[in-house]
């Protein structure tokens, strides 16, 4: 259990919770200027950091929860300040000291993750139900690849399209893969950014034990958030295995001549870089390579892409919070995509999938544009599904 003291000055509490990088900030304001919140409302990043330096943080402010951990500011900060660590530290202080306000939606998701291992509050025994009709085997020692779908494609009725398309592609290619079903839990990446460090540690230990018990050597994931946790956070807790995002794996199969397409997709497709695949982990080329390999597909780019891509708004636990209309970054992206003449927005992240899907629905644009994960497009081009 975390032991933060409420009797210390706010600055000490934040430093103790991992906000050490705030000492490096020299108040240039670049972070405020590049933050995507500028597009919809004010979010004074520089001032928030300054208040943390002065011990004047308002833990009850909504600003504590605004950061989507997109990394745009960290990428540009001239002092290399890990701004996300500061935001996470403020949230840890709120969560562990019981000060400030946590939205109901986030509180419920956090309780579900801690209780049953997924944010939707679904039964762990049903975690493999998405794969029932597909004949996907349970992972056992010796199986080549563990496919880890993420909670969203495992349970969300719509997002199951992602896990089912992925399993269809892997099966069609004859890949020796399996799933752990009820043995796996949420990776914990987002709940850690939302300040629940204890929950993250417990999830990570549970997943690492499940992977080790089953002698997992290589994990293929659909979510960049799982990728980030497994690749960058689990190793220091004893998780030692190779991690590949599905787009990396598919691109390598294309390079080896093992993935070929039999159907054309004659569509204009625009790709949206997920923050945790692009900025956080430098994976920009592989998703594009996969899309460009599909016959007939015309790949388009957003006005800002690659390192400058606009966040969908779902990182840092914000996927579980209610973002009012007029403040949703994914709405802006949908407008941009339609303006460019795209017919499909291609995604490589289940959180992006949820946000873009909701944007298209709430903006009443289902006739104008479709939202698809890259795995769905690959399955379509392989099988005509
Ligand atoms: S960009 Fe970096 S140095 Fe400048 S105000 Fe933001 S955190 Fe501080
Ligand atoms: S990580 Fe993104 S959302 Fe958070 S403060 Fe930086 S630019 Fe803004």
Mind listing the pLDDT tens digit for each residue in 39-94? 999 999 999 999 999 999 999 999 999 999 999 999 999 999 999 999 999 999 99
R_g of the chain computed on alpha carbons: 21
∠292-306-75 over CA atoms, to 5°?
Answer: 160
Res 4: pLDDT: 57
Question: How do residues 195-221 score in pLDDT, each as one tens digit?
Answer: 999 999 999 999 999 999 999 999 999
Domains of the chain: 10-97 (1.10.1060.10), 117-252 (3.40.50), 258-383 (3.40.50)
Give yes or no for a contact between 262 and 58, defined as CB atoms under 8 angstroms apart. no
Question: What are the pocket residues of ligand 2 if the criterion is a CB atom closer than 6 Å to any ligand atom?
Answer: 31, 34-37, 45, 67-73, 83-84
Whole-angstrom CA distances from 376 to 46, 106, 171 are 41, 29, 14
The values of phi and psi at residue 252, to 5°, are -70, -35
- Span from the CA of 76 to the centroid of ligand 1 (angstroms): 9
Question: How do residues 14-33 score in pLDDT, each as one tens digit?
Answer: 999 999 999 999 999 999 99
The Cα 303–Cα 306 span in angstroms is 10
Query: Mean per-residue pLDDT for 177-197?
Result: 97
- Name the packing angle between helices 374-383 and 285-293 (round to 10°): 20
The region, left, alpha or beta by phi > 0 then psi within -120 to 50, assigned to residue 101 is: beta
Average pLDDT across the chain, whole number: 96
Query: What confidence tier does 8 reach under pLDDT thresholds 50, 70, 90?
Result: low
- Span from the CA of 56 to the centroid of ligand 1 (angstroms): 17
Question: How do residues 163-176 score in pLDDT, each as one tens digit?
Answer: 999 999 999 999 99
The region, left, alpha or beta by phi > 0 then psi within -120 to 50, assigned to residue 74 is: alpha
Res 19: pLDDT: 96
- Span from the CA of 81 to the centroid of ligand 1 (angstroms): 7
Query: What confidence tier does 9 reach under pLDDT thresholds 50, 70, 90?
Result: confident
Give yes or no for a contact between 145 and 176, defined as CB atoms under 8 angstroms apart. yes
Looking at the CA of residue 24, tell me the nearest atom of ligand 1. 3
Question: How do residues 10-19 score in pLDDT, each as one tens digit?
Answer: 999 999 999 9
Query: What confidence tier does 97 reach under pLDDT thresholds 50, 70, 90?
Result: confident
The Cα 109–Cα 96 span in angstroms is 16
Q: What pTM did the predictor assign?
A: 0.96
Classified as helix, coil or strand, 271 is: strand
Classified as helix, coil or strand, 152 is: helix
Question: What are the pocket residues of ligand 1 if the criterion is a CB atom closer than 6 Å to any ligand atom?
Answer: 25-31, 46, 49, 77-79, 81, 83
- Tokens 């002065």 belong to 54
**What is residue 219's DSSP assignment?**
E
The values of phi and psi at residue 179, to 5°, are -130, 160
Question: How do residues 115-162 score in pLDDT, each as one tens digit?
Answer: 999 999 999 999 999 999 999 999 999 999 999 999 999 999 999 999
């Amino acid at each position: 259990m975390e032991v933060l003291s409420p009797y210390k000055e706010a600055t000490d509490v934040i430093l103790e919770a991992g906000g050490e990088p705030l000492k490096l900030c020299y108040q240039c304001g670049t972070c405020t200027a590049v933050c995507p919140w500028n597009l919809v409302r004010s979010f004074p990043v520089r001032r928030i950091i300054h208040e943390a330096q002065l011990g004047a943080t308002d833990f009850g402010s909504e600003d504590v929860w605004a950061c989507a951990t997109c990394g745009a500011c960290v990428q540009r900060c001239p002092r290399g300040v890990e701004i996300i660590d500061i935001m996470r530290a403020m949230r840890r202080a709120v969560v562990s000291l019981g000060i400030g306000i946590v939205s109901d939606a986030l509180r419920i998701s956090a309780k579900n993750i801690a209780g049953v291992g997924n944010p939707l509050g679904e039964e762990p025994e049903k975690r493999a139900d998405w794969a029932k009709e597909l004949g996907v085997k349970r992972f056992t020692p010796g199986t080549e690849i563990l496919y880890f779908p993420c909670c969203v494609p495992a349970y969300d009725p719509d997002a199951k399209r992602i896990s089912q398309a992925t399993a269809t592609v892997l099966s069609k290619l004859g890949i020796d893969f399996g799933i752990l079903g009820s043995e796996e839990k949420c990776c914990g990446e987002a709940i850690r950014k939302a300040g629940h460090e204890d929950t993250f540690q417990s999830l990570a230990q549970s997943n690492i034990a499940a992977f080790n018990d089953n002698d997992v050597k290589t994990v293929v994931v659909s979510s960049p958030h799982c990728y980030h946790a497994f690749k960058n956070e689990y190793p220091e807790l004893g998780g030692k295995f190779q991690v590949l995002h599905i787009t990396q794996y598919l691109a390598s199969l294309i390079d080896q001549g093992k993935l070929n397409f039999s159907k054309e997709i004659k569509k204009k497709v625009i790709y949206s870089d997920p923050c945790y695949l692009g900025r956080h982990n430098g994976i920009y080329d592989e998703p594009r390579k996969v899309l460009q390999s599909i016959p007939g597909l015309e790949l388009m780019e957003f006005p800002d892409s690659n390192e400058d891509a606009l966040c969908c708004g779902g990182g840092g636990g914000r996927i579980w919070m209610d973002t009012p209309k007029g403040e949703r970054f994914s709405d802006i992206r949908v407008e941009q995509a339609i303006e460019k003449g795209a017919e499909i927005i291609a995604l490589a992240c289940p959180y992006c999938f949820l946000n873009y899907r909701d944007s298209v629905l709430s903006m009443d644009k289902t006739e104008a544009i479709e939202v698809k994960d890259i795995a769905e497009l690959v399955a379509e081009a392989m099988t005509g599904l």
